[in-house]
Structure 1
């Protein structure tokens, strides 16, 4: 009797050849937060490390917009992955996702990428997870992964939100604290909202409050994710409290918020004095400053970029808006077609080799080696 052939093994997602995800489900988490569940279009396993992100390429307003979101699902379940997105007032991408994306739709994606991950360890570790708002997503991925794998880590998970109604993954986190699990969860809300019988912490997270929640926090490895002011406050009070900052890890979570800040000109503090003097030239005119001539064909903007500066930084210094998020060639938000000229590009994974072969560059990590004409 002839035996049936063994089924072929399912291959892993390969970012160089795989780029299409199918939306399988959309779930409401809170009144303004949704989870989007995806599967690869072609059968394969999506391997990633908990805490990493993917960059979506979305058709919005007749253009392709890139935006990065942390994977919120467990890395131990590679057949599906999910992102959890808060609707940002005026945010073009988050609103498009909430209002438009539905099961069955396909999108392109790059990734996984990112270094905000706890890595692997054969021995149990002591963690302190501190999240604010949508910054819960990478820490939730870590928690789900540890639970699925049965890893015996001691975790204190502290999540800060505006009100109890804004707590993302509230029921699941509380359920994961059951008997036999070494996870403790504390929710901290600025106000109680409509939940009159709120029994959790109220106010803003502080060092004294943290001491009540996790008296042994000085012994733990800390992972922090949330809005900029939240992470700044946490870092400040931990440093002031004598915490060993070599065991402190943080990640900016909201790439859409970062892109909005950059577009508004609030993230150019680290530009050099030379860049600060760069001025945009009228359309069709060459700029007077020394450096290479950069032309954006769609907007007609022309400016100068010194050879030791990234194109995105020079554009920002010339008061020209360029969507960008990570500023180090990681997320792919500033991916653009180079029509003519040459650049030196030192990226960290935000662009595929085949895209480079097609003439695409990342403006945040590309320095000109000649005059450039760019499709933007």
Structure 2
């Protein structure tokens, strides 16, 4: 309960700036080596930021202070405090110190909030939040903000982890989704926990899962956060599905973006129908012209050749063929192993030629 006198004190104190330290008020475990750490301003000042932004903390670790950046997991709709959900990776120094040492009452210097990866204050859009691991933190902030605002909420939220026990902020997200039917929550894990039952999605996020989870994904604004391999797979998948990438936004663990002009180029391959390509089917002695947006399977069928196929979504693996030379852009949904790819195999249904390509078919 917040007393009237406390509200008055906060109003007099104004807004928090990074001239004032943060005081830790709670440390709540979320998952292995993961906790949500909440702070208040000693003066009672309130916090103003956009959901999805980050703070940079000075951490007094042994050997000298270090600065570390963390996405804010709380919402600006709850301005009396600010929270960070942090996960210690192998070899971590700063985050490891926070989990092992930081306790209520301790104070830290901080800079921010900052960052361009954030919802606009008055935006009312249809959203798709995609995250992996502790990359869920901006999704938590954004969803809480939309939940508290209470109007125009339309969120599909997908978060991925290795095991159910490693799903970060799971209870927080489940609570909001249980109260607002238009917040659709989905978890994807790669492995089960021992002696527990998992009835959700298993594997890695792919095109088939995305179509089942959010059939209207082409109409949504996508916000993505996680390790770079995860974000690259999401970008490749969306590009292959014809998504308008001007409505795609992402954050990075290693390099939070301070300003729109600093947004890094991803260098993703985007098939271009104006770029000519050709595929040689060596066993058949046929060479067929095409463009970069055509799949190897489509080129084969157009040339009157038969490559066995099934799902056409990169799931079943029926259309696996060996690539003899050239480069292709392949976005599959789990139907081929890393070992097969290393040996030169591709799935014809979801591989697009870049220049001249030769296939053993």
Normalised to the residue count of structure 1, the TM-score between the two structures is: 0.64
Rounded to whole Å, the distance in 2 between the matches of 1:48 and 1:220 is 24
Match of 1:101 in 2: 102
- Cα distance change, pair 41–28 in 1 and its aligned pair in 2 (3 A): same
Indicate yes or no: 2:22 matched with 1:13: no
Residues 147 and 153 in structure 2, CA contact (< 8 A), matched pair in contact too: no
Residues 15 and 48 in structure 2, CA contact (< 8 A), matched pair in contact too: yes
Residues 22 and 38 in structure 1, CA contact (< 8 A), matched pair in contact too: yes
Q: C-alpha offsets along residues 30-61 of structure 1, whole Å, 9 cap, x if unaligned?
A: 12211111001222111111000000011112
Unaligned stretches of 5+ residues in structure 1: 257-269, 271-376
- Cα distance change, pair 207–12 in 1 and its aligned pair in 2 (3 A): farther
Match of 2:46 in 1: 45
- Cα distance change, pair 193–254 in 1 and its aligned pair in 2 (3 A): farther
Match of 1:129 in 2: 129
Q: C-alpha offsets along residues 84-136 of structure 1, whole Å, 9 cap, x if unaligned?
A: 111111110111111111111010000100010110236x4200000000000
Rounded to whole Å, the distance in 2 between the matches of 1:155 and 1:89 is 33
Residues 159 and 186 in structure 1, CA contact (< 8 A), matched pair in contact too: yes
Residues 22 and 109 in structure 2, CA contact (< 8 A), matched pair in contact too: yes
Residues 16 and 46 in structure 2, CA contact (< 8 A), matched pair in contact too: no
Q: Secondary structure at the match of 2:38?
A: strand
The number of residue pairs the alignment matches comes to 252
Rounded to whole Å, the distance in 1 between the matches of 2:177 and 2:111 is 34
Residues 13 and 43 in structure 2, CA contact (< 8 A), matched pair in contact too: no
Rounded to whole Å, the distance in 2 between the matches of 1:234 and 1:82 is 27
Match of 1:90 in 2: 91
Residues 38 and 82 in structure 2, CA contact (< 8 A), matched pair in contact too: yes
Q: Identify which of structures 1 and 2 has the higher relative contact order when contacts are C-alpha pairs closer than 8 Å and 6+ apart.
A: 1
Q: C-alpha offsets along residues 298-357 of structure 1, whole Å, 9 cap, x if unaligned?
A: xxxxxxxxxxxxxxxxxxxxxxxxxxxxxxxxxxxxxxxxxxxxxxxxxxxxxxxxxxxx
Q: Secondary structure at the match of 1:10?
A: helix
- Cα distance change, pair 191–73 in 1 and its aligned pair in 2 (3 A): same
- Cα distance change, pair 170–180 in 1 and its aligned pair in 2 (3 A): closer
Residues 55 and 111 in structure 1, CA contact (< 8 A), matched pair in contact too: yes
1:185-264 matches, within 5 Å, as 185-194=185-194, 196-254=196-254
Q: Secondary structure at the match of 1:176?
A: helix
Rounded to whole Å, the distance in 1 between the matches of 2:180 and 2:255 is 36
175-184 or 127-136: which moved more? 175-184
1:193 Cα deviation from its structure 2 partner: 2.5
Rounded to whole Å, the distance in 2 between the matches of 1:97 and 1:233 is 31
Match of 1:69 in 2: 70
Unaligned stretches of 5+ residues in structure 2: 257-266, 268-361
Residues 50 and 74 in structure 1, CA contact (< 8 A), matched pair in contact too: yes
Q: Secondary structure at the match of 1:111?
A: strand
- Cα distance change, pair 84–48 in 1 and its aligned pair in 2 (3 A): same
Q: Secondary structure at the match of 2:178?
A: coil
Match of 1:184 in 2: 184
Larger C-alpha radius of gyration, 1 or 2?
2
State the Cα RMSD in Å: 2.2
Rounded to whole Å, the distance in 1 between the matches of 2:8 and 2:238 is 53
Rounded to whole Å, the distance in 2 between the matches of 1:12 and 1:181 is 36
Normalised to the residue count of structure 2, the TM-score between the two structures is: 0.66
Q: Secondary structure at the match of 1:125?
A: coil
Match of 1:150 in 2: 150
Residues 16 and 41 in structure 2, CA contact (< 8 A), matched pair in contact too: no
- Cα distance change, pair 250–180 in 1 and its aligned pair in 2 (3 A): closer
1:14 Cα deviation from its structure 2 partner: 4.7
Match of 1:111 in 2: 112
